[in-house]
Structure 1
């Protein structure tokens, strides 16, 4: 009888976000390698792309209490979830998701391993309870470190709530059979908070190189992405607090009269602020564009000459943007603002695949201007940088190589 893995994640296909893509591929690789796999998730709510939603057949269960779908032969349970502005409503719908996913999880039989990615931290409580009741092993995949992320965002004002979350964090680490995290920086942070740091396994995130690859003549909407000789500088992803958007505004002001165009594609908590700043300063060199369908993203990435990731220095130690792998897989160079001893800086340092500017620099916008001026004068250098990033991905970060590590880790855990 094949072993069963239950993936318990707040996002999964067809939600169009990086963690969903990551776990879509992990789930399929585990199935391909002989595991039985089921997924416990939500209805798409984080980033809904209509073309993806249309392709998915959702089956309504118990008057809409939950839904099911099929992802490449894998059964997925979807609990309704929505985005609300109200903190009270967000709290209520999150409690609803936790409770209903627990009871749905109880109905899934013969589970050997449960794996859950953060965030949220509280998802691990449900997974731990299910694992104990089912005599299964539990793997907690730390994609972002909580409650650090809340604290560094400045959202955590209550000391009593913070202390409670820290106790919850320690409880989760103690009762997890294994922790998977994405780099050495994360491992060092977690090790200080654990009784048994040997439980930590480092497995980097990855990119689907079948989807993301160099494209000589990208097929794109030319009304949004015009064909011209300007230096095209792009960001595609969540427009949130993890990034610092002020350097973009400042460098866009300085380069208004230069043949440089900026494209910001996506949505998130900072989009309205960014839109207001663009309008206030009449920055016609910045195009703010809605999320695009996933299949069009490789073409869009290949359209740009340079991709930027400007990390918020308060949050840069708490996560690693997975888009860095997709960009390098398309042979495109990066322009990064981040400090040393952070996951993103450590990944790219000494690779030759990125322009790296430290967040602590006295004049970040001046350094950005110098980089863009250099890029305009030497387009060939950008191609060479893209080649180096592409080689790095092929060596270490392909979907096949990394999902194989997940498979081996889960197999070893079951047999231990």
Structure 2
């Protein structure tokens, strides 16, 4: 049943720094959800900026409607992610423009804030205090938890304590919070958010967008000269949340192998470090490619034989790499270097969709990763089994239709609850 058929179609405003046509993960997932809800009869609006995820502005209008979604782009700087000062400036300008728009613009049945930029839920809190606006949070990651975990802030320092206090207020005052899994839920619960306001909905990929493709049917492998290679791919942001010590050591040890090629795709603050390492050691089994357009992911992800993922132990529950679901959609095994006790670690192991090398559980994690790569290289049947397990689990649990349906059910329940509260207040 659609919202329109149920005669309770709400108006929803999503707020996030990035939206279509930007390639940021949050932009892509928000675009998927917003367009799905619009198809269900929801009056969907999105408030975002014109800034690219990396840097610079997009040539897009301030106001437009695309696939039923009303897009409102506020004025904000677009220095990008290359410097901390530039990033903070972008955040501050987006905050100020967004807050002004929310307080002076139309009211909605619900505002849903994402978490880019950090502390964005405070906009919802202020709107609640000033206008009585109902709001929820789509918690894609946690701040300043991430900055503390990566060493950018001291945990007991004044800035971290202040940011924690502000962030916690945003979460505690929300009508609902959507987390990405068990470990993130635990962290949010510590902010004194009641359990009945916490809802787990994972992020996703589309089954029609990414599916298994045989290597000899993949034009990208031929184009890149990878037809005879066993491709170990890292696709996505090489950020501060990720660890590469074991990966780089394994690349060095396997340099000269006639078949194995390491392919990195994307950008990120650790890209320079990775490229510097490969240049210093003269590695011949490595290449770094720019992001592929979203329409080319159907070829780029199945291009790999094995997909690498990494996560620092202290980031468990703070960040949940959405790339795993694209890997599973492509029917390729995931090889994760990171904590077993994390959303990604549990998904990979629980569905037998790959292998996890947990540095905290291994006496020699570099050796363990090296040996695992070689085992997967030599065992075609095992790779196919793990990849098929991942594809099956993706279709059942992590596909766009499945996850967006959960979102629609949640929003329907929230809107009905808000309506009942308002009726009770009028009656009283």
Normalised by the length of structure 2, the TM-score is 0.89
Aligned residues: 403
Q: Is 1:26 aligned to residue 52 of structure 2?
A: no
The alignment's C-alpha RMSD in Å is: 2.0
Mapped to 1, the partners of 2:31 and 2:229 lie a distance apart of 36
Mapped to 2, the partners of 1:329 and 1:84 lie a distance apart of 29
Q: Is 1:74 aligned to residue 69 of structure 2?
A: yes
Contact persistence 1:113–1:131 (CA under 8 A):
no
Aligned to 1:145, what secondary structure does the other structure show? coil
Query: 1:322 maps to what in 2?
Result: 322
1:12-411 alignment, distance < 5 Å: 12-47=19-54, 58-59=60-61, 67-79=62-74, 80-82=76-78, 83=80, 85-157=82-154, 159-194=157-192, 196-216=194-214, 217-220=217-220, 222-223=222-223, 225-258=224-257, 259-360=259-360, 361-411=362-412
Aligned to 2:238, what secondary structure does the other structure show? coil
Contact persistence 2:354–2:386 (CA under 8 A):
yes
- Write out per-residue CA displacement over residues 168-212 of structure 1, whole angstroms, 9 at most, x where no aligned residue: 122112211111101111112211221523211111111111111
Mapped to 1, the partners of 2:254 and 2:9 lie a distance apart of 59
Structure 2 unaligned residues grouped into runs of 5+: 1-7, 418-428
Q: CA deviation at 1:261?
A: 0.2
Mapped to 1, the partners of 2:65 and 2:104 lie a distance apart of 18
Query: 2:4 maps to what in 1?
Result: none
Aligned to 1:335, what secondary structure does the other structure show? strand
Mapped to 2, the partners of 1:69 and 1:198 lie a distance apart of 36
Q: 1:301 to 1:89 in 2, by over 3 A?
A: closer
- Write out per-residue CA displacement over residues 13-40 of structure 1, whole angstroms, 9 at most, x where no aligned residue: 1110211111111101111111101100
Mapped to 2, the partners of 1:237 and 1:41 lie a distance apart of 22
Q: CA deviation at 1:153?
A: 0.5
Query: 2:3 maps to what in 1?
Result: none
Mapped to 2, the partners of 1:93 and 1:350 lie a distance apart of 40
Aligned to 2:36, what secondary structure does the other structure show? helix
Contact persistence 1:15–1:48 (CA under 8 A):
no
Mapped to 1, the partners of 2:241 and 2:65 lie a distance apart of 33
Contact persistence 2:37–2:408 (CA under 8 A):
yes
Contact persistence 1:137–1:414 (CA under 8 A):
no
Aligned to 2:336, what secondary structure does the other structure show? strand
